[in-house]
Structure 1
Amino acid sequence: MMYKSIFFDLDDTLWDFSGNAYDSFSEVYAHYDFDQYFDSFDQFYSIYKEHNARLWIEYGNGNITKNELNRKRFFYPLQYVGVHDEDLAKSYSDDFFELIPTKSKLLPYAKEILEYLSGKYRLFILSNGFRELQFRKMTSAGINHYFEKVILSEDIQIHKPNPEIFYFALSATQSILSDSLMVGDSWEADIAGAKGVNMDQMFFNYSGMEELSFKPTYTIKSLKDILSIL
């Protein structure tokens, strides 16, 4: 086998973050009767997602702290519609964080692929997600037992795509760079990050991204495609 260690991103690579987040926000929106503030759930969620994406870039670049990220991203949609109630924002963010890790939706073929790879390769998670959530997500989805170790950006306060987190992951798992593969859906964090340390990459391009700045080692559009590669 060409590889011995396979590093997986978690959110939107294996665990369906987009779907689980949508479901969680929908439930919290209904619980707090946010129709009194927003025209619809879709309006609320589109406001949240757009601002959240910008804040995660700031967080990844080290410009804001984790606490600032969470405070700003949950408060912003309410501010946008003229509701300046920070206690309300804190309450619904607390409920969201309690709810989302209980969701178990995975990307199609995730369990089948992990079962196929298990025993053939050493499997690890390499994620920028929060420690208090990632382990609960994996347990809820029933995939935690496939992985020898979970490496999180919070372990060293450095985020993908910074080379240091990849070197840390290799060291922490006693993996060799030439025997390792990074699998992820984020072009910048997972694929460009891995290439930056000369680690082979598998780009899970389910969104159909077309303009790529380089050709990754592998590109897949479904996790099922892994069967014909590994």
Structure 2
Amino acid sequence: MKFEGITDVFFDLDHTLWDFDKNSALTFKKIFKINNVKADVDHFLTHYEPINLKYWRLYRNNEINKTDLRYERLSETFKLINFKAEDELIHKLSEDYITHLSTFNHLFENTFEILDYLSLNYNLHIITNGFNEVQYKKMSHSKIDHYFKTITNSEIAGVKKPNPEIFNFALNLANTTVNKSVMIGDSYEADILGAKNIGMDVVFFDLRNMTVDANIRQINNLIQLKNFL
């Protein structure tokens, strides 16, 4: 069943439109080569990905800052795989990662198709917790920036999803109201519950087959948004 009365569609960026895991893996392969890191990158990534999610959760909850996030996720992973990495190398990899991440721009299947479709009838927007200095580059380099009327970043808003203030900031920036808006994202806590808590309609982009509230609309391919919008 399609939503009614919607004028504005808000997307998360990483893990929703921009294929973070694939682009991140390619970035690590590149910067390991640049810095002559002899650790097996695939073995590293197997451990890094859940550790990264853990530190992003801490960052989202304001328990660590951006600098700590960037350093600790690498340090903990290297320790776990028993690879001795000096602080200097970890700091260098941390900087190189941010520098090179936006040079890889794989998007999820049907991203362009659904943005073309939705942009005909809706105002499109981004709400992201990602770092300000890389999110715009990701969108520009992947050629999706022109679809979006506004981009709300947690560093600009001063709060992170799921804090209701970032959603209200985004609504004000977009000059729209909660009853005319829908949020689409992959994080059940940050995107879906965060938006629902202020009364916004939601669509959960679920690639992990999570068990969630049966009343929440779910998709596992972006083209399925045509069922609701």
Interval containing the TM-score (normalised by the shorter chain): over 0.9
Q: Quick one: which of 20, 27, 42 aligns to 1:17?
A: 20
Count of aligned positions = 225
CA distance in 2, matches of 1:112, 1:30: 35
- Cα deviation, 1:21-58, whole Å, max 9, x if unaligned, reads 111112222333332xx3x2222112222222211111
Q: 1:86 to 1:123 in 2, by over 3 A?
A: same
- Give the superposition deviation at 1:214: 5.5
Partner in structure 2 of residue 60 of structure 1: 60
TM superposition shift of 1:82: 5.1
Equivalent-residue separation in structure 1 for 2:83 and 2:35 (angstroms): 16
How much does 1:77 deviate?
A: 2.5
Tell me the CA shift for residue 215 of structure 1: 2.5
Distance 2:157 2:127 in 1: 12
Q: Which residue of 2 aligns with 1:222?
A: 221
Structure 1 residue 71 displacement after superposition: 1.7
In the aligned structure 2, how far is the partner of 1:171 from the partner of 1:26?
40
Question: What is the correspondence of 1:33-182 to structure 2 with a 5 Å cutoff?
Answer: 33-35=36-38, 38=39, 40-80=40-80, 81=82, 83-182=84-183
TM-score (norm 2): 0.93
Deviation at 1:213, TM superposition (A): 4.2
Counterparts of 1:49 and 1:97, CA distance in 2: 16
Alpha-carbon offset, residue 10 of structure 1 = 0.4
Distance 1:228 1:177, change over 3 A: same
The amino acid of 1:72's aligned partner reads E
Amino acid at match of 2:139: M
Q: 1 CA distance for matches of 2:37 and 2:50? A: 18
CA apart distance, 1:219: 1.2
- Once residues 84 and 23 of structure 1 are traced to their aligned partners in structure 2, the CA distance between those partners, rounded to angstroms, is 20
Q: Quick check: 1:123–1:146 contact (8 Å CA) kept in 2? A: yes
Residue segments in structure 2 that go unaligned for 5+ positions in a row? none
Q: Please report how far the alpha carbon of residue 163 of structure 1 lies from its aligned counterpart in structure 2 after TM superposition.
A: 1.1
Structure 1 segments (4+ residues) deviating >3 Å: none
Q: Which runs of 5+ in 1 are unaligned?
A: none
Residue matched to 1:196: 197
Cα distance in 2, alignment partners of residues 55 and 226 from structure 1: 30
Q: How far apart in 1 are the matches of 2:52 and 2:16?
A: 19
- Say yes or no: does 1:187 pair with 2:188: yes
Separation (CA, whole Å) in 1 of partners of 2:173 and 2:152: 8
Provide the C-alpha distance between the structure 1 equivalents of 2:5 and 2:21, rounded to a whole number of angstroms. 32
Find the aligned partners of 2:7 and 2:161 in 1 and give their Cα distance.
21
C-alpha displacement at 1:147, in angstroms? 0.4
- The amino acid across from 1:106 in the alignment is L
Q: CA deviation at 1:167?
A: 1.1
Contact 1:74 1:90 in 2 (8 A): no
What is the deviation of 1:203? 0.7
